[in-house]
Amino acid sequence: MISVAALRMQQFGVQFYQASLTARDIDKLVRFEVLDYSGGTGSRGARGSTRTSKVRWDLLERRIASSEKAYQRQIIRRKIDELVAYYEQCRAARDLPSIPGAVIISSDEPLRFEPVDEQGTLGSLKVPEREGILRAIDGQHRLLALHAGMDRFGDEIFTVPAVIFDRLPEDHVVQMFVTINAKHTRLNPSHLVSLSGRQLYRDENLAAAHDVVRALNEREGSPLQGEIKLLGVGRGRVAQAPLAQELKRLFGTEAFGSGRRGAEFREEATRFFLNYFKQVAVVFNAAWHGRKYSIKTAPALRAFIRVAPDIVRHLDQQRADRADFRAIGRVIAPWGRRIGDLRFETEGAWKRSGTTIDQLATELRLALQYPEGVLG
């Protein structure tokens, strides 16, 4: 066990500790992890800047794990570079502390507090001496920068103020992280979608929406592969959050059938939307693969999602499998005749009509309702 000086705090029945951890304690006890789907270390930023960086990224990134059960954002290299430079400046000038504010940490294993005063507030906190037992809720970049610059400290004493929680439930950890970061650091809305859908509130509709968006972005053969910014990052042109919210609204209504019928569709929604967008890419082939079109923008994709219940109703009328690729193609074939690729030309009809989600959805519905046009 490692003993650290601590104050025992209590708020609304919740106990936690204010403690002083040495840089060596931080280096040994804290594990760093990010929410990441790529299987990599989950860092982002200007990679070209590594020539002038004081950080050994090859060594630092070995300390950063990635998992779908994590909650932290991807590491921002530029931020760590700036922090390392600031720490070095503080060390040289000796006129300011580099980490004056407390980092917030949760322990995975039980802690033991031994009071030394009559009130039971001041004492010694016993932390199991096991690598990676602590997780950073707030301050991960500050601690990573500390780890990156520790070789310059030598034998100098360096302590970090920390607020430590004893085995917070997983959903409470995530809720605290979101509360701290949603406003103060403008946490990306797409990151909040991932957390709230899969971990925080376990909203089944938002979880299903997240699964659909992720499949569209990652599945081999998806026409939107690599086009969506999961967690707000990536080369895609469309953010995850607006698509997921559009899907959540659909799943939250009886658009796909009430009761068990709707629940069953939510289970097969990923297959439906994959095949649906594959057929959209076929019907609007030139627009989908052209550079001067706006068909793969958030408003257009949301409009296609919004009319999905109409597609499903037509499939039900034909007694076809709701996720059948060919059946979906037959239903939306009129869009090629009635709407066409030119409708999505950015500097053409798209711009002239000031296209909105509702406007495009209405046009798509009318084309399904009157596949040959209105007579007379």
Task: Give the DSSP per-residue string, 205-239.
Answer: HHHHHHHHHHHHHHSTT-TTTT-EEGGG-SS-SEE
pTM recorded for the entire structure = 0.55
Give the pLDDT score at 201: 44
Percent of the chain with pLDDT over 90: 40
Alpha helices in the chain (DSSP H): 23-29, 57-60, 77-93, 140-149, 170-184, 189-195, 204-218, 240-251, 259-283, 285-289, 298-306, 308-317, 325-332, 334-338, 349-352, 357-369
End-to-end CA distance of the chain: 86
CA-derived radius of gyration, the chain: 26
What is the model's pLDDT at position 371?
A: 82
Q: For residue range 161-198, list pLDDT tens digits in order.
A: 999 999 877 666 666 766 666 555 555 666 655 555 55
In this prediction, residue 46 carries a pLDDT of 44
**What does the alpha-carbon distance between residue 258 and residue 256 come to, in Å, rounded to a whole number?**
7
Looking at the predicted structure, is the pLDDT value of residue 29 above 50?
Answer: yes
The mean pLDDT value of the chain amounts to: 82
Q: What percent of the chain has pLDDT over 70?
A: 76
pLDDT band at 78 (very low <50, low <70, confident <90, very high): confident
Q: What is the pLDDT of residues 225-268, one digit of tens each?
A: 999 887 655 677 888 878 988 998 888 888 776 667 777 787 88
Q: Which amino acid is at 209?
A: A
Q: Where are the domains of the chain?
A: 2-184, 189-369
